[in-house]
Amino acid sequence: MIKMLTKFENNDFSVDEFYSEISKKLKGYEFSSFALGVGYPKEIKEETKKKLRVDFQKGLVYKISKELNKKVDYKNKDILIIIDLIGKKIEYVFKPIYVQGRYNKYSRELPQTYRYCFKCRGKGCKLCDGKGKLSETSVEEILREYFLELFAAEELKFHGAGREDVDVLMLGNGRPFVLELAEPRKRSISKKELKDLEKKINLNEKEIQIHKLKFCKEEKVEKIKQADHKKLYLALVECDEKISQKEIKALKGKHYVKQRTPERVSARRSDLIRERVGKIKKVEYVSENEFKVWIKADAGLYIKEFISGDAGRSIPSVSELLGKKCKCKQLDVLKIL
């Protein structure tokens, strides 16, 4: 991630001048390793380039390493310094810090991530009351405030292992996530400080709780995004006709479901037919037209549509199996399996 940029006008190849500029820009940044690259203009002859790589480039690397007491590491650097002699600029690429954990969500009005207003695309309009977003905050935004402060970072990216709908609670062992902290000024954060931050968030926040925070590598982002986690759900189902305990007990068992991309997400998801398994493990009678159902589901099974049938896009569905029109009145994720 390139964040800082320096422009220069002279054509001098002064090690001291470039070192002075670089050390000034990196003041306040914690880092233990760096790498340096130089882009030379085409008009410079090859013999001159060879000499510059020794006298200027290697000399500058040596001076930065010695004066700032930093290790030169081209494979695992904290900061990459790029001197572009063609465009006359210095760019700094900072290695992000990654933190993984799990979160629980206890609000039915809290989305996982920032919800841009689809109408104005974040600019502000009547629909979003000029805010540019459709919710006051999110799990991502709550965590951003705490983590940017601790790491003195410029930005935070939230990577979740899937997501639940805004009105769905995330209970049990929580949903895995990875936070990517861009351009951190502080890198020497200890495991204890991370645990202290976890306690602070859980003490201050009522809508979310986080746990199992620890540092991880970049590869973890792809792993949690590709992981096919089965989940255990609890749904409160409402029917438009009276139901009996005998009828709902007949729902128990494994159901092989074919689902076309639901209408409610069709604008942002590919129109596909997915085959998933939904196992109804337990049912509980609530009233003459309501019941609870516990569903163990494959990753990617849309539970609300599995219940309603989504106008025939989800086959079979609880509605079809009961022969009554049903809808999911309330939904919780009880556990990520």
Q: How far apart are CA 40 and CA 257, in angstroms?
A: 60
Task: Please state at what angle helix 59-68 crosses helix 15-25, rounded to 10 degrees.
Answer: 40
**Residues sharing a CB contact under 8 Å with residue 264, sequence separation 6 or more, in sequence order:** none
Q: How far apart are CA 112 and CA 104, in angstroms?
A: 10
Token digits of residue 241: 């006709």
Domains defined for the chain, CATH in brackets: 2-94 (3.30.2300.10), 97-226 (3.30.70.2510), 231-336 (3.30.70.3190)
pLDDT by 10s per residue, the chain, length 337: 556 667 666 667 889 999 999 999 999 999 999 999 999 988 889 998 999 999 999 999 999 999 999 999 999 999 999 999 888 899 999 999 999 999 999 999 999 998 777 778 777 887 778 777 778 899 999 999 999 999 999 999 999 999 999 999 999 999 999 999 999 999 999 999 999 999 999 999 999 999 999 999 999 999 999 988 999 999 999 999 999 999 999 999 999 999 999 988 877 788 899 999 999 999 999 999 999 999 999 999 999 999 999 999 999 999 999 999 999 999 999 999 9
Which residues are marked as active site? Answer: 165
